[in-house]
Structure 1
Amino acid sequence: MSAGEAALPRRRLGGTGLLVPEICFGTSGLSGMPAVFGYDVPEDRGVATVREVLNGPAGFLDTAAGYNAGRGERLIGTALAEHGGLPPGFVLATKVDRDERTGDYSAAQVRRSLEGSLERLGLDRLQLLYLHDPEHMPFEEAMAPGGPVEELVRIREEGLAEHIGVAGGPVGLMERYVATGAFEVLLTHNRWTLVDRSADALIDAAHAAGLGVVNAAPFGGGILAKGPDENARYCYSPADQVVLARVREMAAACARYDVPLPAAAIQFAVRDPRVAATVVGVTRPERVAETLRLAAWPIPDDLWLTLDGLHAPPSHWQY
């Protein structure tokens, strides 16, 4: 940990027993996915960014096997090898993924995905392992005997993953996975932000069921970090005019209070007592400290009242 930095306050991640900081750093962007984010990240910069997280006060890092065919995990593995392993108390989460070439999301593929992650990360076990983007298979297939969810449970029973979760987008589908009782953690993305509130009932259901809740993509893919004139996309697709207009109003309201728009975007989720951690993607080493500064930026109650009235109408949410 850098000099002068204090560890962030930690919250209980549901019933897992894990204590996690309110900010988790995400690695989808630094994995280098220009088709999604519109830019690439050099490998040395990616490793340097992970190194900054490992040395910083926010001991929580999120990645996935499917981030650029495991490139994100390889970058983390390189930084971990330099560091001598995970720092004490640090939590690392990754995700099993389908085969991008064939679409296979069988139990055997879940096992192959896990084995690849362990090899790339240089670890022999994981603290938190998610089923990633289950919208790519029928729910009944996922939950069938001998299917991918049963394999994920088996992986936990074998001690290769301490805890298991489900990470995905569509709210209705994620509610079905939460209701199975198979998972300990829910990760939802792009659906609990200043603009889009579609995951509200999902988060309620997960919290009531004792799952830890992790909220990812508070910037909606970048628009709530850079503003609509520099990034006119929400959830990795072009934003419609209603969403663009609402974000412009939010940016103007923040400016009146001398609050950066990304500070409000991050803290919207951080201030929610149902949310254990908020995943913020970073692609440069300096963004780590900047993110923590934004997460601590003073925001007056009057601004929150204004912003709460500016979210997009439900007809424009992702669901």
Structure 2
Amino acid sequence: MTTRELGPGGPVVTELCVGTSPLGGMPQIYGYDVEAERAIATVLRAFESGIGFLDTSNNYGGGESEKRIGEAIRRAGGLPEGFVVATKADPVPGDGEFTGDRVLASFEESLERLGLDRVPVFYLHDPEHFDFDDLSAPGGAVDAMVELKRRGAVDRIGVAGGDLGAMRRYVDTGAFDILLNHNRYTLLDRSADALIDHALAAGLVYVNAAPFASGMLAKPAADRPRYQYGMPSDEIVERTERLRALCAAHGVSLPAVALQFSTRDPRVSSTVVGVSSPQRVDELVANAAAPIPAELWDELRDLAV
């Protein structure tokens, strides 16, 4: 599997990253639950798959995702050699503030749940829900992220969120090494395109999350998949079916094309895909390797979706 550095001298990661938000058991977001043993088995399968990068967060499932990952690490006898775990700082649920002290506390909570002494990659998570001036003020959340890197507790710090305008503001602080953006660079929504160029020009690397648009491009229409964590509009359903028909005409699956739309872009250092079972890990690896004719990519460029 292709690997890349997260910036010069940074951690080496695979082009695929296992997203573990579903493994925390969040049916309110995904429309289904994942019980603990299935989640642990999924992480263990990821360790065997050739994927070397995993993404989680302090508050996925109220910490349950990290706990389950930690149990999988324990059962495996430790992380596979070279395997990179990334997690994220989150505020206390329901708290109206996201302070520097909270970033540091979130970091320690994550290490305890994961059973690790350190993580190579640490993100400030969804800061768009808080006032930028508060988080970027001296002693605030951004400073705490920088302090963790200064201490050597992490190798790279990043900002992770969905709002394009907010992400640009955090890129422009000059504090971060990585931008992770979700749901905004897919076959259905390419609105992050300019932001990716902006981040790379500023010296950051880009990690693309949710290339399936939270299910819309991965599941058949009969399963009523969600789009960007909500119900899709009629327009999105119609556009997805046009894409599905185009892929079928070339004898390839829509999930494979949706995934490789991200992985084949040289600007994307890694692509984060949420998984919910060992089978989904296997499908992810297979979709990344599926041959796709060049003619299909040409037609996708011309198709007004």
CA-CA distance at 1:232 after TM superposition: 4.4
Aligned: 1:35 with 2:21: no
Cα distance change on mapping 1:88 and 1:295 into 2, 3 Å: same
Alignment partner, residue 219 of structure 1:
212
Q: How does 1:69-88 map to 2 (within 5 A)?
A: 69-88=62-81
C-alpha distance in 1 between matches for 2:186 and 2:8? 25
Q: What amino acid is aligned across from residue 57 of structure 2 in structure 1?
A: A
CA-CA distance at 1:151 after TM superposition: 0.7
> Does the CA-based 8 Å contact 1:15-1:212 persist in structure 2?
no
Q: TM-score, normalised by structure 2?
A: 0.97
> Does the CA-based 8 Å contact 1:64-1:70 persist in structure 2?
yes
Cα distance change on mapping 1:16 and 1:190 into 2, 3 Å: farther
Q: Residue 158 of structure 2 aligns to a residue in which SS?
A: strand
CA-CA distance at 1:163 after TM superposition: 1.3
CA deviations 1:141-178 (Å, max 9, x no partner) are 11100100101111111222221000000111101111
Q: Residue 215 of structure 1 aligns to a residue in which SS?
A: strand
Q: Provide the aligned length of Structure 1 versus Structure 2.
A: 305
Percent sequence identity over aligned pairs: 51
- Which stretches of structure 1, 4 residues or longer, exceed 6 Å deviation after superposition? none
Q: What CA RMSD, in Å, does the superposition of the two structures yield over aligned residues? A: 1.3
Q: Which moved more, 1:242-251 or 1:16-25?
A: 16-25
CA-CA distance at 1:25 after TM superposition: 0.6
C-alpha distance in 2 between matches for 1:311 and 1:224? 16
C-alpha distance in 1 between matches for 2:168 and 2:8? 18
Alignment partner, residue 262 of structure 1:
255
Cα distance change on mapping 1:20 and 1:156 into 2, 3 Å: same
2:271 to 278, 284, 307: 278
CA deviations 1:39-88 (Å, max 9, x no partner) are 00010000000011112211100000010111110011001111222211
2:135 to 116, 128, 142: 142
Q: Residue 214 of structure 2 aligns to a residue in which SS?
A: coil
C-alpha distance in 1 between matches for 2:180 and 2:96? 22
Aligned: 1:237 with 2:227: no
> Does the CA-based 8 Å contact 1:195-1:311 persist in structure 2?
no
Q: Which has the higher helix share?
A: 2
Structure 1 unaligned regions, length at least 5: 1-7, 313-319
C-alpha distance in 1 between matches for 2:69 and 2:294? 38
C-alpha distance in 1 between matches for 2:65 and 2:46? 14
> Does the CA-based 8 Å contact 2:259-2:287 persist in structure 1?
yes
Q: TM-score, normalised by structure 1?
A: 0.93
Alignment partner, residue 152 of structure 1:
145
Structure 2 unaligned regions, length at least 5: none
1:21 to 3, 14, 17: 14
